[in-house]
Structure 1
Amino acid sequence: MSSAVRAPSSDRRARSTTIAQHWPMNSRNARWSRPRASAWTRNSSFRRSARSPPRKPRSNDHASCRHGPALARSGERRRRLRRRGYGRSAALTDIDLLVPEGAVYMLAGENGAGKSTLLRLLLNLERPTGGRAEVAGLTADQHGARVRARVGYVPEDFDLAPRWMTVGRCFAERAVYFPAWDSAYAAALCRRLEIDVSRRIGQLSKGQVRRAQIVAALAHRPPVLMLDEPSDGLDPAARDTVLELVSDHLSQTGCTILASTHLIYELDALADQVGVLSQGRLTAQMSRDALRETLKSYRIRSPEGWATAPDIPGVLHRGQFGREHNWVIRGDEADIVGRIAQSGGEVREIAPLNLHDAVVHLLRQGATS
């Protein structure tokens, strides 16, 4: 697998268009020339009467469909996500993200960091003016519908379908576009999550809509999952059930998961890759093992009048109580210990950080850099 390469500087800080790229904009900061509708209501199959049955897809739907999911070729099994050099005005800058095949990649960041925008760019629901994204071996801007057919996506918002539509009909519409849709599996998921498919979307609570979105993302057993704050709106019991279902899906399919969250502890048991997005920039990206090895807490005993060594790089946090210092430092342990010893300090204890504390320190570093 080739590594990602940064885009040239001319591609950086570019702005993006939105999902309805076939509707023109008057200027860079202009409003849309017609009211925006949801991705569901814009598709003609969702504008018909509730009595009309779901239409069968045309043979070329996988190439021509703009908003509905498309047919996928079952022979393609590569599962790689690459996001390179994208930018959006005041949202993303200089992003270079690579998710290894079969990984559970936790994209952590504060609210407004650009996590949702990044996922939408990967799905070609928003389009940049520079850089490139690949999902499952497909370039997103050229094969957006085929990319979406291979992905189980839980969006940040709760726009599942028109309010008049029942949950069951919503799933039937999706089954038309996903040949791999497993109705028995979808029914089992609904029972597990206590979803009444006879109810209309407009009658559901926020948490019930989120549970239905989880079913819609898993029922076609996709090779890639993109989950944008998947536990948002869920009560603690439902949150645990959803994480169990995602874990079961991972063990059964060996899929690749990209999950964005600002609640780090939720993915502690699953994540093996970590990315930190702060103020629109990817400030850290590494495996969990590498994070554990390079980011540690150091307890230092200093002599009287000890001045901290100015040449120790990677210090993310400094705490002091008398002659005891507690530092969080990112870097090679042997090099750090040597530098502290040269400055007159004595390292008394070294301890790795848990995932939550490590990511929080990286987020704070990104916010101040």
Structure 2
Amino acid sequence: MSFPTLPTRLDGAELAVETRAVFKHYPPSTTALNGLDLQVPAGAVYVLVGPNGAGKSTAMRLLLDVVRADRGTATVLGIDTARQPALARAQIGYVPEVVDTAYGWLTVRGLLKHHAAFYDAWDWGYADALCRRLGLRPGERFRALSKGGARAVALVTALAHRPPVLLLDEPADGLDPLAREELAAILVEHITHAPTTVLWSTHHVHEADRLADHVGVLRGGRLLLQAPVDAVRGGLRRYRAEVPDGWTGAPGLNGDVLVRAQAGREITWTVWGEERSVAERLSASGAVVREAGRLSLEDAALALLRAGSAA
């Protein structure tokens, strides 16, 4: 089946983070990024969605200049990350997917002091308040922390210098439900009081659903979709319809169907397009539309990643 034409450009927006035609290969045969054109508007909470291995973490590390692109460019606040990596990193707070334990012998306070030395804008009052909220004990050895505790420390180091750009790679991984709620509350307060662009990478979309205003869906190192959340919720719907015996589909619509399922004479199709037009085409084909429901952001992302499958 053909794939629908989905929005993948945010041209016209002021961009805080951008990659242009970025390719990254890992020997012998892994393509992590395949022409990535990431566009994160200034001040946005942009959720980058994709399964494990989609290239999300590689994209984050590229913006930090931890890895270099084979082709293409990346900029943060207009700074070329390959030409001025230190200056670019100074603008970024980063929570990695896997927290580095190389400084495990340090206490929480000692590790924060280590990070503070790199940032003139480090705010100790804010760092201490975050530690209290996240249940961190300053004198505890970093290597003795749980996975959630180590991630909480990474969050403090990312936020305490109030950077204009946050890169969050699975930031809720390892946190218990209460800590995840606290994380969301902290982020809301942080971006309310300090202008911040957030690039949040996850394969658990519900964790970022309430905060997201832009979304990118990444599969195989390439963006399937990049758009404001409202555009995604408005453009993608799940239709339930009854169809006559021998029904062969809706002419002119098949290319816009991402996911299709059928049980007897009932079909459930997830379709990209304007609701009235889709409903009219289904009706013209002999189908009786019973429901046209909007999808949550998580369901929309899953539909995009499953595009072409038949349940």
The reply on whether 1:339 has 2:275 as its aligned counterpart is: no
The reply on whether 1:351 has 2:281 as its aligned counterpart is: no
Counterpart-to-counterpart distance in 2, 1:205 and 1:333: 48
SS of residue matched to 1:222: coil
Which residue in the other structure is 2:272 paired with?
A: 330
CA deviation after TM superposition for structure 1 residue 79, in Å: 6.5
Contact kept, 8 Å, 1:278 with 1:367, in 2: the verdict is no
Counterpart-to-counterpart distance in 2, 1:161 and 1:206: 14
Runs of 4+ in 1 over 6 A off after TM superposition: none
- Which one of the candidate residues 68, 83, 86 is aligned to 2:19? 83
Q: Which has the higher contact order (CA 8 A, sep 6+)?
A: 2
Counterpart-to-counterpart distance in 2, 1:79 and 1:168: 35
The reply on whether 1:112 has 2:53 as its aligned counterpart is: yes
- TM-score computed with the length of structure 2 as normaliser: 0.89
The reply on whether 1:253 has 2:194 as its aligned counterpart is: yes
Aligned amino acid, residue 280 of structure 1:
G
The reply on whether 1:281 has 2:222 as its aligned counterpart is: yes
Which sections of structure 2, spanning at least 5 residues, go unmatched? Answer: 1-8
The reply on whether 1:194 has 2:135 as its aligned counterpart is: yes
Distance 1:102 1:367, change over 3 A: farther
- TM-score computed with the length of structure 1 as normaliser: 0.76
- Which one of the candidate residues 180, 194, 211 is aligned to 2:152? 211
The reply on whether 1:295 has 2:231 as its aligned counterpart is: no
SS of residue matched to 1:133: strand
Query: How many aligned positions are there?
Result: 294
Counterpart-to-counterpart distance in 1, 2:81 and 2:184: 28
What are the Cα deviations for residues 255-279 of structure 1, in whole angstroms up to 9, with x where unaligned?
1100000111111110111111112
Contact kept, 8 Å, 2:237 with 2:270, in 1: the verdict is yes
- Structure with greater proportional strand content: 2
CA deviation after TM superposition for structure 1 residue 124, in Å: 1.0
The reply on whether 1:240 has 2:181 as its aligned counterpart is: yes
Counterpart-to-counterpart distance in 2, 1:221 and 1:259: 16
Q: CA RMSD in A?
A: 1.9
Distance 1:4 1:140, change over 3 A: farther
Contact kept, 8 Å, 2:55 with 2:218, in 1: the verdict is yes
SS of residue matched to 1:317: strand
Which sections of structure 1, spanning at least 5 residues, go unmatched? Answer: 6-77
* Percentage of pairs with the same residue: 46
What are the Cα deviations for residues 138-173 of structure 1, in whole angstroms up to 9, with x where unaligned?
111111111111111001111055122222122112
Which residue in the other structure is 1:154 paired with?
A: 95
Larger CA Rg, structure 1 vs 2? 1
Aligned amino acid, residue 300 of structure 1:
A
